Amino acid sequence: MSKAHTQKLSTLMLGAIGVVYGDIGTSPLYALKETFAGHHPLPVIEANILGVLSVMFWTIMLLVSLKYVFIIMRADNHGEGGSLALLALATELNSTRPKTKWILAILGVFAAALFYGDSMITPAISVLSAVEGMNVVAPQLSQYVVPITVIVLTALFLVQKRGTGAMGMAFGPIMICWFTTLGVLGAISIAQSPQVLWALNPAYAYHFLTTDPWMAFLTLGSVVLAVTGGEALYTDMGHFGRFPIRLSWFAFVQPALVLNYFGQGALLLQNPQAIENPFFLLAPAWALIPMVLLATAATVIASQAVISGAFSVANQSVQMGFLPRMEIRQTSDKAHGQIYVPLTNWTLYIAVIYLVLTFQSSSNLAAAYGIAVTGTMMIDTILITFVLIAWRWSLWLLVPLLGTLFFVDFAYFAANAMKIPQGGWFPLGIAALSFTVLTTWKRGRKLLFEEIARRSVPIKMFIDSANSIHRVEGTAVFLAGINEGAPAALLHNLKHNQVLHTRNILLTVIIEDKPYVTEGNRLLIDDLGKDFYRVRVFYGFMDSPDVPAALEQCSKLGLSFDIMSTSFFTSRALIVTAPNPGMMKWREKLFISLSKNAMNAADFFKIPTNRVVEMGTRVEI
């Protein structure tokens, strides 16, 4: 391996450690404690300690190492990962099966909706659990835990608009320090009670699960906290690549996590009273304050990763037609994926602060955590099943492998469903609300485009009659939401101004079911005759549409533009209720409300505002 290649791999691994593993890396703060002292407490005895550790270890191996690292990370969509990327891949592979595509779309959208619930809970529980270390350092300061948590989270959301580039440079070294500390503290504790390593034997997990099946089932609702964030390995694959993520997981992150969990277990074997906060009690007294500061920094990084993920999902949802156009700012001219979505940022902030002020402690929040993660994991298993079947994997391998994974996913999801009354209702409620918005917008857009297409005039008929219409100098670009027919803006311009420009461009922006579109595949130009052209501009769902930049590239294909002598005509639909609406009344009202608050097309496509003429059109759906 060359020196340059080694250096690049090291840089990617450093970045992956700093971003990808923040969520799962901060789980040791609360996972084991909640398993024994949560809403379904377990006696802190040797049999339970070894049994729980064994279940935790094999859960990490099965759900993270096997499922995500070995299997799901194979299903990259042109290098990108995540539920929506997996949905696009599964849909593409099953494009000839309409019913299957519909089922996959519903599952993929619901997984994205569940992510929004998860992205609200993760910052709240992570930062709160870190600041709660103050209870160990100085119990008399416990009343300040919630206010300090609110201050830290407020500062985190305030800096989002400045971009995370500068902060990101420090993420890797801080998280390396964090994972090293986890491993060292765990190893020291294990050395004092090495019998804890017996838990590596799956027989202890089997014995724990079968001795008292009901109590073991309830315990799964807390054990799963050890793998929350495991899905991020796949979600962030596009940023760092498959190999650096796999290598950093097996060589560094997984050993550190296992050592720390087993170290906490060894501590409990020596001192059952340490269940009050086994993570911080692993550290010597002199190191408690530095540990609280380091834990807070690590949880801020974990929260940042989730917030950035929420921005990415919002961006993908807009591009794929599941959300209305909204303001999306690029915060870096070098890193394409660094974006800031103001609406998403402040919606998350309000929800996170609400959670902190309502639940008050990480233990209470743990009841709300897990159901969104396990729901997403279960959906990912279903989606990858369709992908692997399309790839023609052997059924002799698929049935036992995916059957086992689905059984484990369902067991954890069912165990977390028991916590719905204690707080699990929150992420499910957020997911239901998000799912309703996503599907309503998608359905409303479909009805809108169908009505526009029904009312449109065939473009050939329009061009054939264009000879008798007076023409003025210049180029007019008409944004068209559909590929066929004359755009509404063109018809309205002719109706009100009774003129046509010398050259007329019918421009349609098309979002492909893949993350990025190369520059060579960006444009498709059709000469319709009589100085009419249809231009189709293609983007991926991770791309940021820029119409002026795309039009500048047209010169390479023989169609040159001078943006400052070009007028852009857009059509803004005034949507009203039809006598026989295409969806339920309340959903139609929701769609109309979303439409009214959508960002206008000119701003979204980066068209100079002084070159835009907006035409209104009334449409019934």
Is residue 584 classed exposed, middle or buried when 0-12, 13-18 and 19+ CB atoms within 10 A define those classes? Answer: exposed
Successive 10-residue mean pLDDT values, the chain, 621 residues: 64 75 86 84 90 94 89 74 72 72 80 83 88 80 86 88 62 88 94 93 93 90 86 70 84 93 94 89 88 89 81 82 82 61 90 90 81 84 83 83 89 88 84 88 85 80 80 87 77 82 89 81 88 90 85 86 84 75 82 84 84 78 71
The rounded radius of gyration (Å) of the Cα atoms in the chain is 27
Distances (CA, A) of 402 to 62, 127, 253, 387: 11, 35, 25, 12
Tokens representing 29 are 């703060």
Q: Tell which phi-psi region holds residue 64, choosing left (phi > 0), alpha (psi between -120 and 50) or beta.
A: alpha
Going by C-alpha positions, the residue among 316, 344, 345, 346 that lies closest to residue 544 is 316
Local structure of residue 599 (DSSP, 8 states): P
**Strand 339-340 vs strand 329-330: parallel, antiparallel, or unpaired?**
antiparallel
Tokens representing 405 are 């994974």
Going by C-alpha positions, the residue among 60, 447, 136 that lies closest to residue 292 is 136
In whole angstroms, give the CA distance from residue 5 to residue 229.
29
What are the residue boundaries of the structural domains of the chain, listed by start?
A: 11-424, 456-620
- At position 236, the amino acid (one-letter code) is D
Do residues 330 and 339 make contact, with C-beta atoms less than 8 angstroms apart? Answer: yes
In whole angstroms, give the CA distance from residue 269 to residue 311.
43
511 three-class SS: strand
Q: Which CATH architecture has domain 11-424?
A: Up-down Bundle (1.20)
Do residues 416 and 370 make contact, with C-beta atoms less than 8 angstroms apart? Answer: yes
- At position 184, the amino acid (one-letter code) is V
Going by C-alpha positions, the residue among 249, 313, 182 that lies closest to residue 20 is 249
The alpha-helical segments, DSSP class H, found in 193-253 are: 202-211, 213-223, 232-235, 237-240, 242-248
Is residue 225 classed exposed, middle or buried when 0-12, 13-18 and 19+ CB atoms within 10 A define those classes? Answer: buried
Distances (CA, A) of 509 to 149, 154, 466, 478, 559: 44, 37, 25, 11, 17
- At position 383, the amino acid (one-letter code) is L
Q: Cα torsion for 186, 191, 196, 198, to the nearest 10°?
A: 120
Within 8 A by CB and 6+ apart from 29, the residues are: 126, 129, 130, 279, 295, 299, 362
Exposure string (b/e) for 329-348, b if CB count within 10 Å is 16 or more?
A: eebeeeeebbbbbeebbebb
**Strand 566-576 vs strand 329-330: parallel, antiparallel, or unpaired?**
unpaired
Q: What is the pTM of this model?
A: 0.81
Helices H / strands E in the chain, number of each: 27, 8
Tokens representing 558 are 């023989």
Exposure of 207 in the CB half-sphere (CA atoms within 13 A): 15
230 three-class SS: coil
In whole angstroms, give the CA distance from residue 484 to residue 519.
24
Do residues 50 and 211 make contact, with C-beta atoms less than 8 angstroms apart? Answer: no
Question: Sign of torsion, CA 509 513 516 522?
Answer: negative
As a three-state string, the secondary structure of 52-92 is: HHHHHHHHHHHHHHHHHHHHHHHCCECCECCHHHHHHHHHH
Do residues 303 and 126 make contact, with C-beta atoms less than 8 angstroms apart? Answer: yes
Within 8 A by CB and 6+ apart from 8, the residues are: none
- At position 13, the amino acid (one-letter code) is M
Local structure of residue 600 (DSSP, 8 states): P
Q: Give the largest CA-CA distance in the chain.
A: 94
